[in-house]
Structure 1
């Protein structure tokens, strides 16, 4: 009798275990960091994120593209395919903030369905969470994310983080089709223009726009622009050139961090100023040389207006990150690696 009872209990536990099992949705690893977002297949994603201490985070969900874009300190750190609300259960557009975080959330409406890494946008039931990403809108209004991307976003975001849900015909193109620079204010979600420097102007420097906070830098060789963010706000921009190097491979997407100490000697044209040591950071698809210091000749390939560099150098303290890419960052530029973006969200088959 006891073996039968034991077997019955085992079967009951097995059935219960199957009932509460949480599926794993989407890719388990990031695609290479320089993968164009439009080339991500359903369930694929990119993550090259940095710690919470490196500036405010914000997310843009493009219902039109069926993709989510995560920004840290004004710079894109993650992109993911999504699945939003299906017809009759459309995901609302607008500016939201994270109201609640629940790693192991289950639906109180839909049969106790698992909704891991839930980040609530409305008290009416709309949230970001892990879920199926088939390549078209299929949810009941939530934004489904691949499981591992949902975990990374959950772990790196804070309560109150701004999330903008955008759609073509309702929101500006810069927000519906985001790029490497955030088109929104991370504190309010309001759109901010990403304008090129006027003709003849080599740089702009406005540190008073964000007097304190962590620094992040983005360089685009295609746009020949270097943009400086502090606490998620652009404080400087310069026209710069990347000196050609015979036999050099395409830039792709790379990341660097300011380390301890300085390169020998002074910066040319800036008496008393020294360039800090820079090291490579490994990111998905570009891990070769991670942890290696850059030599002076490599750094000197970036030709920066001396007056701009004089403003920037005092801010280059250990931990400052620079992302370099050959992709374009300004919507106003044309040619080169412009992505072909969908004008409408994919439909269910």
Structure 2
């Protein structure tokens, strides 16, 4: 099936140029995924690994947008500006894996040119590494990243990690599924028009870290475990969702789940605090679903709340990587 990607995981990140103070957002600015990503200037990036501290990772590179999107446990933890291959040296598209990593690498093809924090994708010279970002494709085929971002990303990746390079401009709202990566059509949901589905299929991912995404626009909650959707339910709010928010689970006891707030760019001074019962009561979901979710929650699980829609077909679209000729 085709999954969307939560806006908050873009908005909860701190944007930084190569050598300048972090760029931040204010509540008065447009809270849209397009506005945040498109506003990034060459050398800037977004990074918030705490929003999904564990789980499988994937990188999607859009040559059309000159952006790299980093996913963990199904949700975005980072976005960076890039510089891909120039005319005559175009970066190849397709599905790759990280074959080699080296902090201080020199090019074997281009006069020992420095390639800091190199992560090799092919044995014939294509890699991700730190380099100059002029705002347009300018490399010999590699994917250049801001130096600070390349260092952060290097620390989080491992051999065999999947890297998808595509010409498409749209990005998926959650980690793209195998169907999305091959361009296959998603299966239609067995629902009548207007029917709100409740799905609970924990057997799809029996173990692994949890991430919970809540959309104010859709009035829907999605549960991801190990990057796979295992549950979804309609929810209601006692007041509109105006701004993004993020939380991490502290513990579960007889009184239920206790969440800690995670500060966002426009509220960096706010200390982490426990969400009050009154605040928790603003969200209502089916009781049987709540009890099932409560039974699998463990400390460290994250919740992100976004005013944006999670529906496929808005910002998110399938990424066609392999197409028959």
- Both proteins in one fold, TM over 0.5: yes
RMSD: 2.9
Aligned residues: 290
Does structure 2 conserve the Cα–Cα contact (< 8 Å) formed by 1:30 and 1:284?
Answer: no
Does structure 2 conserve the Cα–Cα contact (< 8 Å) formed by 1:69 and 1:79?
Answer: yes
Residue 212 in 1 paired to residue 207 in 2? Answer: yes
Give, in angstroms, the shift of residue 36 of structure 1. Answer: 1.8
Does structure 2 conserve the Cα–Cα contact (< 8 Å) formed by 1:128 and 1:143?
Answer: yes
Report what 2:321 is aligned to: none
Report what 2:298 is aligned to: 317
State how far apart, in whole Å, the 2-side matches of 1:56 and 1:119 are: 17
Seen in structure 2, the aligned counterparts of structure 1 residues 166 and 26 have a Cα distance that, compared at 3 Å, is: same
1:88-118 per-residue CA deviation (whole Å, 9 max, x = no partner) reads: 0000000001001111111122121111111
Report what 1:183 is aligned to: 176
Give, in angstroms, the shift of residue 281 of structure 1. Answer: 1.9
Give, in angstroms, the shift of residue 184 of structure 1. Answer: 3.2
Report what 1:260 is aligned to: 251
Report what 1:343 is aligned to: none
Give, in angstroms, the shift of residue 233 of structure 1. Answer: 0.9
Three-state SS of the structure 2 residue aligned to 1:104 is strand
Give, in angstroms, the shift of residue 43 of structure 1. Answer: 1.4
Seen in structure 2, the aligned counterparts of structure 1 residues 196 and 182 have a Cα distance that, compared at 3 Å, is: farther
State how far apart, in whole Å, the 2-side matches of 1:126 and 1:47 are: 24
State how far apart, in whole Å, the 2-side matches of 1:124 and 1:27 are: 32
* Structure (1/2) with the larger strand percentage: 2
* Greater radius of gyration (CA): 1
Give, in angstroms, the shift of residue 200 of structure 1. Answer: 1.1
State how far apart, in whole Å, the 2-side matches of 1:116 and 1:159 are: 17
Does structure 1 conserve the Cα–Cα contact (< 8 Å) formed by 2:52 and 2:211?
Answer: no
Three-state SS of the structure 1 residue aligned to 2:105 is coil
Gaps of 5+ in 1: 1-24, 169-175, 265-274, 340-349
Give, in angstroms, the shift of residue 125 of structure 1. Answer: 0.7
1:52-107 per-residue CA deviation (whole Å, 9 max, x = no partner) reads: 96101101000111111000100011111111100100000000010011111111
1:243-299 per-residue CA deviation (whole Å, 9 max, x = no partner) reads: 217xxx832x322110034474xxxxxxxxxx2110012344443434200001111
Seen in structure 2, the aligned counterparts of structure 1 residues 299 and 180 have a Cα distance that, compared at 3 Å, is: farther
1:162-188 per-residue CA deviation (whole Å, 9 max, x = no partner) reads: 0000113xxxxxxx41244222359x9
Q: Greater relative contact order (Cα 8 A, min sep 6): structure 1 or 2? A: 2
Three-state SS of the structure 2 residue aligned to 1:313 is helix
Three-state SS of the structure 2 residue aligned to 1:226 is strand
Gaps of 5+ in 2: 1-16, 26-30, 317-325
Seen in structure 2, the aligned counterparts of structure 1 residues 60 and 28 have a Cα distance that, compared at 3 Å, is: farther
Report what 2:195 is aligned to: 200
